[in-house]
């Protein structure tokens, strides 16, 4: 069976390398960028994970569980060996200590302190009301009255009760709380669609780091779709990603060129042990995941 996912992903790499425009960016690294691209995957063709380089599947699972449980502190991630949000928390910590002209911890010591010291984690491990908070506890203030909406719970309820609704959506772009977030959402919303007994999912992304971030996003939303199907009884349909500013950081160009030279393998199958999506109570593994090796690249924060 042809692996169209890797082929389409490599086309995006090639398109940016050939047609991308140079842009400065928030991190100071610099990018080559395009605007308005998309990728589609038929879930019946296998689980959506790249094979032209190895993707850290277990790290992706840890982050998705963290989102689904409404977590916003990096401590639970670090306890699972997931380091992808450390840079955002460490940047805030380091800036505060540099301002005070005091000594500060190395990244490794910072992570260890977060794990070992609950009060330190409460102060420096918190990222504000990012993805998980918005997914599970969207804040609505109406005068003196405040209430919260669990968007994931509402989504599941609506898929079950009104599957043909055009309002099967979850949004993380809470404009009233953006200033409280360490990083505003990159993948800011997703929508579900039911037809012919299948559930499809489309996510939208304002900023897409094609080399490091997008492979994670593809697999994460693929797993989320599988979980929603397990909860609602539908078969997985299509997975669609829409990207606004899709870019390669300039220090990822050689890595992208290396990946473009690689072939791809057949997509694996997902093995899912599912209990409850809202508690993050599930186990997932891949059957026959064959891939090329990791390609290391620096993360820009």
- Is residue 268 assigned to a domain? yes
The catalytic residue positions are: 186
- Is residue 280 assigned to a domain? yes
- Is residue 221 assigned to a domain? yes
What pLDDT does residue 101 have?
A: 56
What pLDDT does residue 85 have?
A: 96
What pLDDT does residue 102 have?
A: 65
Which CATH number do you get for residue 236?
A: 3.30.572.10
What pLDDT does residue 150 have?
A: 97
What pLDDT does residue 103 have?
A: 77
What pLDDT does residue 246 have?
A: 98
What pLDDT does residue 145 have?
A: 87
- What secondary structure, in 3-state letters, does the chain show? CCCHHHHHHHHHHHHHHHHCEEECCCCCCCEEEEEEEEEEEEHHHCCCCCCCCCCCHHHHHHHHHHHHCCCCECHHHHHCCCCCCHHHHHHHHHHHHHHCCCCCCCHHHHHHHHHHCHHHHHHHCECCCCHHHHHHCEEEEECCEEEEECHHHHHHHHHHHCCCCCCCEEECCCCCCHHHCCCCCCEEEEEEEEECCEEEEEEEEEEEECCCHHHHHHHHHHHHHHHHHHHHCCEEEEEEEEEEEEEEEHHHHHHHHHHHCCCCCCCCEEEEEEEECCCCEEEEEEECCCCCCCCCCCCCC
pTM more than 0.85: yes
What pLDDT does residue 297 have?
A: 92
- Is residue 41 assigned to a domain? yes
- Is residue 247 assigned to a domain? yes
> Which domain covers residue 239, as residue numbers?
4-71+151-287
* Tens of pLDDT, residue by residue, the chain (301 residues): 679 999 999 999 999 999 999 999 888 899 999 999 999 999 999 999 999 999 999 999 999 999 999 999 999 999 999 999 999 999 999 888 776 656 789 999 999 999 999 999 999 999 999 999 999 999 998 877 899 999 999 999 999 999 999 999 999 999 999 999 999 999 999 999 999 999 999 999 999 999 999 999 999 999 999 999 999 999 999 999 999 999 999 999 999 999 999 999 999 999 999 999 999 999 999 999 999 999 999 888 7
- Is residue 163 assigned to a domain? yes
What pLDDT does residue 1 have?
A: 61
What pLDDT does residue 300 have?
A: 84
What pLDDT does residue 294 have?
A: 96
- Is residue 110 assigned to a domain? no
Per the structure, the count of domains in the chain is 1
- Is residue 182 assigned to a domain? yes
């Amino acid at each position: 069976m042809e692996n169209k996912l890797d082929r389409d992903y490599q086309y995006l790499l090639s398109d940016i390398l050939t047609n991308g425009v140079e842009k400065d960016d928030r991190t100071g690294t610099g990018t080559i960028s395009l605007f308005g691209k998309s990728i589609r995957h038929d879930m019946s063709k296998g689980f959506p994970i790249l094979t032209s380089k190895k993707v850290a599947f277990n790290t992706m699972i840890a982050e998705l569980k963290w989102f689904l449980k409404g977590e916003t502190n990096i401590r639970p991630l670090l306890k699972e060996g997931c380091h992808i949000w450390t840079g955002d928390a460490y940047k805030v910590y380091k800036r505060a200590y540099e301002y005070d002209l005091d000594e500060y911890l190395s990244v490794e010591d910072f992570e260890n302190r977060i794990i070992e010291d609950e009060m330190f984690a409460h102060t420096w491990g918190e990222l504000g009301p990012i993805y998980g908070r918005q997914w599970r506890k969207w804040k609505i203030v109406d005068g003196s009255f405040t209430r919260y909406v669990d968007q994931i719970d509402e989504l599941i309820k609506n898929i079950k009760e009104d599957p043909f609704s055009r309002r099967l959506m979850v949004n993380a772009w809470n404009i009233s709380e953006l200033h409280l977030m360490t990083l505003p959402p990159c993948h800011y919303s997703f929508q579900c669609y039911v037809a012919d007994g299948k559930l499809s999912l489309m996510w939208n992304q304002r900023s897409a780091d094609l080399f490091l971030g997008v492979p994670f996003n593809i697999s994460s939303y693929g797993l989320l779709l599988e979980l929603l199907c397990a909860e609602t009884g539908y078969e997985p349909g299509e997975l669609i990603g829409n990207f606004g500013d899709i870019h390669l950081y300039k220090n990822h160009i050689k890595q992208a060129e290396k990946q473009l030279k690689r072939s791809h393998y057949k997509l694996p199958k997902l093995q899912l042990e599912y209990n409850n999506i809202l508690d993050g109570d599930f186990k997932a593994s891949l059957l026959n995941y064959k891939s090329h090796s990791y390609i290391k690249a620096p993360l820009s924060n």
